[in-house]
Structure 1
Amino acid sequence: MRITQSSIAASSLANLQASLARNAQLQEQMTSGKVINRPSDSPTGIVTVMSMKSQIASSTQYSRNASDGAAWLGTVDSTLQTVNERLQRVRDLVLQGSSTGTLDPTSRQALATEVTSLRGELMGLANTSYSGRPIFGGTTANAKAYDDTTYAYQGNDGQVTRRLDSATTVEVGASGPTVFGDGATSMFKMLDDIATNLVSNTPALAGNLAQIDGRMNDVLQTLTDVGVRTNRVTAAQTNADDNVLSMSSTLSGVEDIDLPKTILDMQLSSNAYQAALSATAKVLQPSLMDFLR
């Protein structure tokens, strides 16, 4: 087989082009910090990378959901704690007003006035909102869970939920009627009755005391439930964050360059290119006159 000058030139140029392309690829990897910059770099690797990025995105969203759910539940918890404290104060006032022969009408009126003030404060707590939505109103679009005048519940039975993983959701709100009642059977109507009884119907306060204890029990049960859900949300957020860290580490192993190795490869490739360039220059020295001799 006869090897012509043109075939040598073509082969040399092809080798130079391949060496130059290798240099360009290593330079791109150095610049991006990634081994895989396009599907053609590794058809199988890109599938793994895309799958892991999708899982990381999902876990990141689950973590955000859990964080938001924890904030909701934290608002519910702190509100219920305050509700319980205010009811305890009402209970103390009822016990004080139940005593006979020690309080004059002015003192009883003062007790009633404080109960009325506490009722207004509890109404504000019942209408507590998070991100513009009442935490005791279900999924209602109303700005408040309760009407200030009629004490009617303006929410609904819908549950505000957050997704913690592909198969788990958790409720992050609380039922207004369970804690505060509704309308004529509400906590607020009870407090109005207590204020009236403190002034003019002392014997009825015994029944009011039992009502207060019932409401406080409802609050404590809801607080317990909120605590259980908070623990679930916190655990889910920790798990999602751990998944993100683990998968990000694995993704880095698949996608990111080994910097020392890439630097060494780049130096070797550059040296090989320079050597090939020098050798090719010598091989392709013959001119047209050499072929005419």
Structure 2
Amino acid sequence: MSAPTSPVRTRPAPGAPAARAAGAPRPPRRRPWVRYTLRTGSLLAALGLWQLLTTLDINLWLRFAQFPSATDVAREFADRLGTGAYWQDLTDSLTRILTGFALAAVLGVAVGTAIARSPLVSDLLGPVLEVCRPIPAIALVPVAILMFPSNEQGIVFITFTAAFFPVMVSTRHAVRALAPVWEEAVLTMGGGRGRVLVSVVLPGALPGILGGLSVGIGVSWICVISAEMISGAYGVGYRTWQDYTIVDYPGVFVGMTTIGVLGWLTSTAVELAGRRLTRWLPRTETSGRPAPSRKEAATP
């Protein structure tokens, strides 16, 4: 009588996540209202701490005596919402950021794909772009003033430059990381280079492209506000700098809050658009959808 054989246990590869044991219950997911409550509570706690520090005039290593309180900023924010100048500044900044970001998204994807797919383009454009990439976009303000006939075009150029390089680099890496077997399959079935680009390259690189777009929109806001402070005539950045020069600190914090809210809204819009474009990708629990079980993943 042979001894019973024990199941073979395999050790997971280093760095690989531990697999869930068969039959083990899936970790409980937080309900949406719990997550929203936690997020709202964190914001309210930060505002409460701000109000407390400024009300008590805390002056330790950090000095809060000169800071406007949260209620002062809220009162100033409510007053400015009823003025036309505030909405004009907001519209100008949004127009600049969306124009520059749209140009950067189109050209960044096109140039990144061309560099990754063509050795000739990589040899011609790669060295020039790698030399220009480390230069901060805000350092191009003197160049924009010399090149463009108006400050408006110069600010859009700075915004475009800030977003272009993250999109281009992410696209280049994502395209180069694609497995060649899919391209070979399309070519074997008679597809041309255009078919490969549309059916394999762009869909396969889309997650990486979206990552570059998310980074690019955030960097664009940093640079457009800085450009408006230096050479703008309108916009949220320009108004924030003007409030600082006249020592209107509540107005400065209104500008900072507006920048933060606009940046959050535009980043969220890019993320939601990315989720809609990549609905075919598996979702993890942190993204709002449960990941497929091992049985489902093994099913062809």
Q: Is the shorter-chain TM-score for this pair beyond 0.5, marking a shared fold?
A: no
Instruction: Calculate the TM-score normalised by the size of structure 2.
Output: 0.25
Rg larger in structure:
1
Instruction: Calculate the TM-score normalised by the size of structure 1.
Output: 0.26
* More RCO (CA 8 Å, sep 6+): 1
